[in-house]
C-alpha cells in the first residue's frame, strides 16, 4: 500500500502528461519516468520507488556530456529525454 501511495505521489509530481516515457540513469541504475519534465524531487522519488538505494534528502546532480555536472534542486524542472544521467549523494558526503 505504501508503494502505491508513493507511486501515485510520483505520478502526480511528474504531471503524467501524454504517456511520454523515458529511461534515465540514477547512480548507474535505470529509472523510468513519465512526462515531458520532472522536478528533482520527483526524479529522486521515482528512483527510490524503483529500488535505487538513495534517500529523498540526497543531493541530485545531472551529469553533463562535457564531463561536468550541475545540481538539480528539489523544485528544479528537468526536461526529460533518453539517456540523461544523474548522481544522487548524501548531503554530508564531501567526496
Choosing among 2.30.30, 3.10.20, 3.30.720, 3.40.50, the CATH entry for 2-89 is 3.10.20
pTM summary value:
0.78
Rounded Cα gap, residues 2 and 7, in angstroms: 9
Pairing outcome for strands 21-26 and 85-89:
parallel
Contact yes or no for 14/60 (Cβ under 8 A)? no
- Could you count the other beta carbons within 10 Å of the beta carbon of residue 88? 22
At residue 89, the pLDDT reads 97
How confident is the model over 54-59, as a mean pLDDT? 98
At 12-53, the pLDDT tens digits run: 444 444 578 999 999 999 999 999 999 999 999 999 999 999
Amino acid at each position: 500500500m505504501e508503494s502505491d501511495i508513493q507511486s501515485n505521489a510520483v505520478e502526480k509530481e511528474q504531471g503524467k502528461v501524454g504517456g511520454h516515457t523515458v529511461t534515465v540513469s540514477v547512480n548507474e541504475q535505470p529509472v523510468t519516468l513519465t512526462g515531458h519534465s520532472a522536478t528533482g524531487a520527483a526524479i529522486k522519488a521515482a528512483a527510490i520507488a524503483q529500488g535505487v538505494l538513495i534517500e529523498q534528502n540526497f543531493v541530485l546532480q545531472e551529469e553533463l556530456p562535457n564531463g561536468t555536472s550541475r545540481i538539480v534542486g528539489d523544485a528544479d524542472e528537468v526536461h526529460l529525454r533518453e539517456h540523461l544521467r544523474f548522481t544522487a549523494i548524501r548531503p554530508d558526503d564531501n567526496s
